[in-house]
Each structure stands twice: as structure tokens, then as C-alpha cells.
Amino acid sequence: MDLSFIEKSKIIIDIVTNKQNQKAGEDIFNRYRQFLKDIKDIERDDDHDEDEKAILKDLRVGALTGAGNANYAEFLLFKEIFPNDMLVINYWSFVRNRTIFTIDISSKTIKINTWKMIASHFFYLGFVFLFLLIFTFLGWVLFEQLSAVTGELSLSSTIVAVIIGTIMSFLMITVFRLLFDHSCYSSLCNQVKAL
């Protein structure tokens, strides 16, 4: 489907302006509202025993936050401790970096293992640095190699640019994803330290 210039411009304006944030906020609102309804339905359901209800609640928290190994009791603790605007992203970051944190639900505390935290920071930043090195080196090597065989394979420079651009786009997306994960993780660590 080919988009006209006006439709492309509208998409870009939506991304740059607040409209994209409003759509994302509306999505989170609807997901959280559905989450609360589902939890009430699970609690009222007499067909399941308490263990099954706990599993269903854990799965529902995972569906809300996108975290794979979610726990409803931990989520409730996060709901009490952290502001609502950071609840979902903080819990998601916690689950992805669970080994760094020690959580005690009974005393409502979260502690950080300092050495594991430092190692995790180096891990994230090391991977970002590694991908940037790969990005630079691979781009240079691919350009040289594809430029050398352009005549032999009857490739146009446009095809070479598209191949290199596709590979570089994947690497850039990976770098941005690692930076996003590290940003969320660092924010959570700073908030836990401030408690």
C-alpha cells in the first residue's frame, strides 16, 4: 500500500507531537482497567482453588506488564511503593533484572545487591559498546565488500545501500533497545536507593 505525501506527513506529525503519547496513555489506561476487572473476576471465581487463583493473577500481571516471570504479590508491593506513572515500567524492569534486587513483601522493602548492580550496568553498557563497534566495523566491511563485487554480481549501488541499510537498521534498533532497557533499569535502581 502506497501512502501519499499527506498521509506520510500526518504519520510523522503524530509521532512528533503529543498525539502518539496520548494513544500510548490510552492503551495503558485500557489495559490497566481490564487488569483490575480481571483480578476482581478471578477473586470472585469459586471454580478455582487458591493456588490456581494465584497462578491466574500472576499470569494477568505478566499480561499487563509484559514481564515473563511476574508475581502478583510483588506487583502489589510495587503499586504501594512507586508512583502510578512509573508502576508498569518499574515492575517490568524489576522482573528483567530480578537477581539484582532482594524483595521482602512482609516488611515492604526492596534492597539492591550492589555488586550485581554494578555488574549489570557494565553488562548493559558493554553490549551497547560492542554493538556500536560491530555496527561501525560491519558497515565499513560490508560497504567495501559489496562495492568490490558490484560489477561482478551486476548489483546497483542502490541495492548495496539497501542491504547495508537493512543490516545497520537491525543493529541500531538493538542498540536503542539496550539503551532503553538500561535507562529503565537505572531509573528503578535510583528510585529504590531513594526509598
- List, in order, residues 6 or more apart from 75 with CB less than 8 Å away: 61, 65, 91
Q: What percentage of the chain carries pLDDT values higher than 70?
A: 83
The whole-angstrom separation of Cα 152 and Cα 156 is 11
The arithmetic mean of pLDDT across residues 127-154, rounded, is: 75
Q: How does residue 1 score in pLDDT terms, banded at 50, 70 and 90? A: very low
Report pLDDT digits (tens) over 99-135: 888 888 888 888 888 888 888 888 888 888 888 888 7
Predicted local distance difference test score (pLDDT) of residue 15: 60
Q: Is 143's pLDDT higher than 50?
A: yes
**Cα 184 from chain centroid?**
8
Q: Is 71 helix (H, G, I), strand (E, B) or coil?
A: coil
pTM over 0.75: no
Contact 54, 72 (CB under 8 A): yes
Report pLDDT digits (tens) over 5-27: 666 666 666 665 666 666 777 77
Contact 131, 175 (CB under 8 A): yes
Predicted local distance difference test score (pLDDT) of residue 9: 66
The arithmetic mean of pLDDT across residues 51-56, rounded, is: 85
Predicted local distance difference test score (pLDDT) of residue 152: 65
Predicted local distance difference test score (pLDDT) of residue 77: 87
Average model confidence (pLDDT) across the chain: 79
Predicted local distance difference test score (pLDDT) of residue 107: 84
How many residues can be counted in the chain?
195
Rounding to the nearest 10 degrees, give the CA dihedral for residues 124, 126, 132, 135. Answer: -100
